[in-house]
Amino acid sequence: METIIAPSILSADFSKLGSEIEMINKSEAQWIHVDIMDGMFVPNITFGPWIVRTLKKITDKVLDVHLMVEKPDRFFEDFRNAGADILTVHYEACTHLHRSIQKIKSLGMKAGVSVNPHIGVNFLEDIIPYVDLVLIMSVNPGFGGQKFIESSYSKIERLKELISIKNLSTLIEVDGGVSLENAVTLIGSGANVLVSGNAIFRSENPLKYINDLAELG
């Protein structure tokens, strides 16, 4: 399957958000990745459902919302009403993960689960059949522009194996430190969706950078 590119708007220039989104609209990116941080689950605060509502008005791309939030269930309806297509919650933030996933789906969105770098994919074995995607954090969540953690490759390979054994079509998304340097190896390891922030928006030509990533797979 074709690799999906999901530019992370965390690294976009918010003084010209409209033109940044126009650029993504013209690109081969299929999704836009939106990082929601609450200052509790991660040591940083970003934005709330209003940003999704704003994006929905100016793009037809899939809005891929990554909730780095404690007790995320409180906000599912708000994000659905704002126009989120996919909601991903953190394994570490959900005491009743199965219930949370069911709730996201019952609201009509696709559901994902994410794991921090210290959590092995074996913990996901029983939830994989219920999710549309697994998001592997390849940096510690909280900030853009961090260095990719190398052990993420083998983690993706193990996850891919787990998904194949179960005969499922769960997508593997990778987030953190993704660039043209490591994208080929990530795709080879089994990644289906590449989130990239800093590498895209700090490049000389972000549109070309997105399309170069898209051409790899």
- The catalytic site residues sit at 35, 175
177 binds ligand DX5 (CB under 6 A): yes
Tell me how far apart the alpha carbons of residues 4 and 217 are, in angstroms, rounded to a whole number. Answer: 9
Segment contacting ligand DX5 by CB under 6 A, of 83-91, 135-143, 149-157, 181-189: 135-143
Nearer to ligand DX5, 43 or 129 (CB): 43
Q: What is the C-alpha radius of gyration for the chain, rounded to an integer number of angstroms? A: 16
Let me know how long the chain is: 217
State whether the Cα torsion 60-135-53-130 is positive or negative. Answer: positive
182 binds ligand DX5 (CB under 6 A): no
**Longest distance between any two alpha carbons in the chain, whole Å:** 47
How many residues at the interface with ligand DX5, by CB under 6 A?
Answer: 22
In the chain, where does DSSP find H-type helix? Answer: 17-26, 49-58, 76-82, 97-106, 152-165, 183-189, 198-201, 206-216
Contact residue for Zn ion among 4, 5, 66, 171 (CB under 5 A):
66
Nearer to ligand DX5, 124 or 126 (CB): 124
190 binds ligand DX5 (CB under 6 A): no
145 binds, among Zn ion, ligand DX5, none (CB under 5 to 8 A by kind): ligand DX5
CA distances in angstroms from 150 to 36, 191, 194, listed in the order given = 25, 14, 15
139 DSSP assignment: S
Question: Of 148, 127, 123, whose CA–CA distance to 138 is shortest?
Answer: 148
Nearer to ligand DX5, 108 or 147 (CB): 147
Contact residue for ligand DX5 among 85, 97, 196, 210 (CB under 6 A):
196
CA distances in angstroms from 56 to 24, 65, 132, listed in the order given = 13, 12, 21
Instruction: Give the contact letters, 106-145, x = binds to Zn ion (CB under 5 A), - = no.
Output: ----------------------------------------
Q: How far is the CB of 174 from Zn ion (least distance, A)?
A: 10
Cross-strand bridge partners of residue 66: 35, 88
112 binds ligand DX5 (CB under 6 A): no
Which residues lie near ligand DX5 (CB under 6 A)?
8, 10-11, 33, 35, 66, 139, 141-146, 175-178, 195-199
